[in-house]
Amino acid sequence: MTTTPLLLLVLLLTSADAVFRFASYYGDHMVLQQKPARAVVWGYAEMGALVTVTLKRGIDTISKTPVNVYGDVGVWKVVLDPMDYGGPYYLIAQQTFKNNITTIVLEDVLFGDVWVCGGQSNMEMTVSQIFNASQEMALAAQYPYVRLFTASLETSDTELLDLTKVDLEWSLPTPENLGHGDFQYFSAVCWIFGRHLAQKLKYPIGLVESVWGGTPVEAWSSKTALSKCGLSLTPTENKRCYNFMERYAGPCDYSVLWNAMIHPLLNMTIKGAIWYQGEQNTVTNPSLYNCTFPALIQDWRRSFHEGSLGQTDPNFPFGFVQLSTYIKTQPKDNYPLIRWHQTADYGYTPNPKMPNTFMAVAMDLGDESSPYGSVHPRDKQTVAYRLYLGAQAIAYGDHRIPFQGPFPETVDIYYNYSYMNITYNQELLITRTCDDIFEVLCSSGIDLYGESLYSWVPAPAQSPSSKVVTVAFKGCSHILAVRYAWSDWPCDYKQCPIYSVRGRLPAPIFVKYFE
């Protein structure tokens, strides 16, 4: 009998405590964005309460900010002063409500750069799934200032205020959470990218993984981004995606992952984002990807800027991996098309439609015997390193760093010699013969009605000088176009024919149509 009131009191206390808290992605060991931006911190409290947010280093108070609680669910939000990198700090929130004072203390909070890692299963592959996994996991202890966070896999029909669940609360890297399980946490590409940054920059790096395998770009796009490409929301069908060698297929409905896994994060101040996605779009609206992907970047940038009250750069650096390979014997699938569309059809980044972006080429990193299916190559070290080169140049302004493979600058056709000269923008490292990696769209005759018949034919190439490749088209009376590496699996592992002398970076896929 006497236990009833006690039980009631306990319930009341628990529910009262549950109201006052930080949002899901603030916790011990976290990294907040350093200056010049200001970190945004928010949480929940009782309506009508007063909340004070204090930042302390040891016993020194760095800042103390009182805020009001507002909105339907009782939310408070502060924008901290710009902070130099470093730590650890205490981040303390105190609620005063009807003379009751409740305090929450977050410990070991650091300032540094926060990167969001997004995409599908190739970003989701954990450190335990890649080559040299045990060596990689043993490195964890050397990077105590790289901090990891992973959002849970959730969908929603509406834009959520907060993550409904978290898979990995802010943590220090350990072998256990770098290799928690296949396609769980922590992302190998995200981690290796982050540890390179930490080693170079010598300050804390926060990595926020929000990823789901087998998902199309449309699932990660807001209604606004989709509408830019003529797509509109359809009622959610809880549709699973077409499953092609992905371990499992993720949700295919438009915006459902934007709603549940990205929208909640908009209120955090971030430095930038990296992205490894596109495999699913070889079978979902492939010909729209040259619109949907640039639209996602633009929309994420605008939204993170707005959601952080202007603190996240509206043009924040965005890095991505150009698709690797899928099936060696299937040259005619949409892999080359998506690779091309990933650059908004420019072939390289940054470009006028995709400013402040950087790309890691991966078509030379195929892995036919990957135990996770050939769509999941295990060399994530090279992928992450190439992203890191791009980040140094684009995100950190180190313009001496080579981060782009060679790209054609001019193409001169000499019909009288039956060849063309392709002049690249930098010195070439030719590693093998180029018998069939170039193709020309060639007319070798006319049909019954006198129309030219065009077809793609291999065009042998060689490099007579450091920046020029000469592509022969004997037997073609006219040519319409030339392309390079236009197939699912153009090269064996690290064996594409054309790399850069500076940095040994592969020449990306290329196509050019002539007038």
Query: What residues line the site for ligand NAG (CB under 6 A)?
Result: 42, 75, 77, 98-100, 131-132, 161, 266-267, 287, 290-291, 303, 306-307, 345, 379, 381, 414, 416-417, 421, 464-465, 468, 470
Query: Which is closer to ligand NAG, CB of 50 or CB of 468?
Result: 468
In whole angstroms, how close is the CB of 334 to ligand NAG at the nearest point? 9
Contacts of 515 (CB under 8 A, 6+ apart): none
Query: Which is closer to ligand NAG, CB of 44 or CB of 203?
Result: 44
The answer to whether the beta carbons of residues 351 and 344 sit under 8 Å apart is yes
Q: Three-state DSSP class for 349?
A: coil
Query: Which is closer to ligand NAG, CB of 267 or CB of 357?
Result: 267
**Chain-centroid distance, C-alpha 93:** 32
DSSP string, 423-482: EESS-EEE-S-BSSSEEEEEEEEE-TTS-EEEEEEE--EEEEETTEEEEE-TT-SEEEEE
In whole angstroms, how close is the CB of 198 to ligand NAG at the nearest point? 18
In whole angstroms, how close is the CB of 127 to ligand NAG at the nearest point? 12
**Distances, alpha carbon 325 to alpha carbons 35, 236, 276, 384, 492, in Å:** 39, 31, 13, 16, 10
| CA neighbor of 412 nearest in space, from 345, 456, 469 | 469
Distance of alpha carbon 274 from alpha carbon 317, whole angstroms:
8
Query: Which is closer to ligand NAG, CB of 417 or CB of 514?
Result: 417
The answer to whether the beta carbons of residues 470 and 461 sit under 8 Å apart is yes
Query: Which is closer to ligand NAG, CB of 171 or CB of 303?
Result: 303
Query: Which is closer to ligand NAG, CB of 192 or CB of 359?
Result: 192
| CA neighbor of 186 nearest in space, from 169, 165, 164 | 169
In whole angstroms, how close is the CB of 327 to ligand NAG at the nearest point? 20
In whole angstroms, how close is the CB of 414 to ligand NAG at the nearest point? 5
Tell me how many helices (H) and strands (E) the chain has.
10, 24
Query: Which is closer to ligand NAG, CB of 86 or CB of 355?
Result: 355
In whole angstroms, how close is the CB of 118 to ligand NAG at the nearest point? 17
| Buried-exposed string 205-219: b where 16+ CB fall within 10 A, e elsewhere | bbbbbbbbbbbbbbb
Region for 259 from its dihedrals, namely left if φ exceeds 0, alpha if ψ lies in -120 to 50, beta otherwise: alpha
Query: Which is closer to ligand NAG, CB of 15 or CB of 416?
Result: 416
In whole angstroms, how close is the CB of 9 to ligand NAG at the nearest point? 7
Tokens of 18: 């549950």
In whole angstroms, how close is the CB of 332 to ligand NAG at the nearest point? 14
Query: Which is closer to ligand NAG, CB of 98 or CB of 400?
Result: 98
The answer to whether the beta carbons of residues 358 and 349 sit under 8 Å apart is yes
The answer to whether the beta carbons of residues 246 and 186 sit under 8 Å apart is no
In whole angstroms, how close is the CB of 425 to ligand NAG at the nearest point? 14
